[in-house]
């Protein structure tokens, strides 16, 4: 189940959040039925931004998609893309390792306390000790969840994988084109 508020943060148009105004640097957004325009001009007026021009959403998206299809899906770019994704994933993994290494001593301490409580419960299983054990186990599970949250979720592509990017991307661009044209 997803949080319905997440939809409020997702762009509804292909180029939303990617376009900026050449006059004021503000974002372009859909300002009419199917037109992109400067949000700053629309919301704050001509005193802040004098750019009242708008552009057809369909024409602009078609030009961008055509350019991406024609010029950006080359084997060289696919290799560069794979290398950059690999670099970013490695950096993310190093950052996650640094963050989780701080949790290792806390986890070891909680594990030690759980073992101590288990030893005490073997001798005298009082409800107070069982409550403490439950709290420590919950603390341990929380630390494990924090560690799991920092683990990388994917494997970095290799340059050999980049050759298949073009074959994989074409159907994706066709799908994006169909989404763009649907109401």
**pLDDT tens per residue across span 46-79:** 999 999 999 998 898 888 888 877 776 677 777 8
Judgement on whether residues 55 and 85 belong to the same structural domain of the protein: no
Burial class (CB in 10 A: 0-12, 13-18, 19+), 101: exposed
Q: Is residue 119 part of a domain?
A: yes
pLDDT at 173: 54
Q: Are 27 and 103 within one domain?
A: no
Q: What is the pLDDT of residues 163-183, one digit of tens each?
A: 555 555 555 555 555 555 554
- 2 located within any domain: no
> What is the average pLDDT value for the chain, to the nearest integer?
77
In a domain, 181, yes or no: no
Does 114 share its domain with 136? yes
User: Do 117 and 170 share a domain, yes or no?
Assistant: yes
Decide if 7 is inside a domain: no
Distance of CA 172 to the CA centre of its chain: 19
Contact criterion met (CB below 8 Å) for 14 and 68: no
Q: How many domains does the chain have?
A: 2
Shared domain for 63 and 85, answered yes or no, is no
**What's the half-sphere exposure (Cβ side, CA atoms, 13 Å) at 99?**
16
pTM, full prediction = 0.39
Domain check: are 80 and 58 in the same one? Answer: no
Structural domain of 80: 74-159+166-175
CA distance 86 to 97: 16
Q: Measure the CA–CA gap between 100 and 87, rounded to whole angstroms.
A: 20
């Amino acid at each position: 189940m997803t949080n319905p508020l997440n939809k409020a943060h997702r762009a509804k148009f292909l180029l939303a959040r990617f376009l900026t105004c050449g006059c004021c640097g503000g974002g372009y957004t859909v300002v009419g039925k199917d037109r992109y325009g400067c949000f700053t001009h629309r919301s704050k007026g001509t005193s802040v931004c004098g750019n009242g021009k708008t552009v057809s959403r369909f024409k602009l998206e078609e030009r961008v998609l055509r350019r991406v299809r024609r010029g950006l899906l080359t084997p060289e770019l696919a290799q560069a893309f794979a290398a950059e994704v690999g670099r970013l994933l490695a950096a993310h993994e190093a950052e996650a390792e640094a963050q989780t290494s701080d949790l290792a001593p806390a986890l070891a301490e909680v594990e030690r306390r759980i073992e101590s409580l288990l030893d005490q419960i073997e001798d005298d299983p009082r409800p107070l000790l069982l409550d403490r054990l439950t709290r420590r186990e919950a603390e341990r599970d929380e630390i494990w969840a924090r560690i799991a949250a920092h683990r990388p979720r994917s494997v970095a592509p290799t340059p050999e994988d980049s050759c298949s990017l073009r074959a994989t991307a074409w159907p994706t661009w066709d799908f994006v084109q169909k989404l763009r044209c649907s109401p």
